[in-house]
Amino acid sequence: MRPISRTAPGAANDAVRHRGRADLGESGWPFGAFPVPAEEGRYSLEQNVMKTGSRVWARSTSVTSVCESTSKLDASVYSQGIPILFPRYDLPEGGLKTLAATDGRHIGLTATGHAGHTPAALTSATLSYCYDGGTTWTEAQVSQQGGHCAATVNHAGATGRQVTLRPELTDAHGDSVTQTVVRAYDVR
């Protein structure tokens, strides 16, 4: 997911900001400014992005992200970004977002922040993948070493299958993100 990106024709987007069960705002675009109370609180942001209508956009056709963070007013600034994590993937893919149908492929997992926020080190990382659009998940083995996380996926015998990814990342501040990327890549 790109935090603030131009929306291409044929794309559908929405973002909803919550505190507990209370909706704080909603936007039909993949960005927005949502007023929040000054006191410290736990917030979630759900963003849904879909691409339709073009064969060029055959990969990552739908991305749903749920970010959770704790935030409070910083009286020294007029406007501040909320500490949101965005997953980053290091895929050993071909130029067309495809992976070979072999076992033991490594996918690097990191997180970047939003609006100048630098995430703390990841304390938890999982990655699940499936071939049926989100019904049957396989949890990848994830290793963490020296601040780097890598998931191992096994695709032997999966030639021609479309892969949906779902990482769950948490940093040392307790900020987290769960993201589902439909057709993140295909197995060749």
| pLDDT tens digits, 115-151 | 778 999 999 999 999 999 899 999 999 999 877 899 9
Distance, CA of 188 to CA of 160 (rounded, Å): 6
pLDDT in tens, 80-103: 777 889 999 999 887 889 999 999
| CB of 169 closer than 8 Å to CB of 147 | no
Q: What contacts 134, CB < 8 A, 6 or more positions away?
A: 164, 166, 180, 182
3-state secondary structure of 9: coil
What is the pLDDT at residue 34?
72
pLDDT of residue 109 exceeding 90, the answer is: yes
Task: State the pTM of this model.
Answer: 0.85
Angle at 161 between CA 106 and CA 149, to 5 degrees: 20
Q: What is the mean pLDDT of the chain?
A: 84
Sign for the CA dihedral angle at 104, 105, 106, 107 comes to negative
Q: Residue 1's pLDDT is what?
A: 26
> Residue 152: which of 137, 138, 164 has the closest Cα?
138
Largest pairwise CA distance in the chain: 57
Between 170 and 117, residue with greater pLDDT: 170
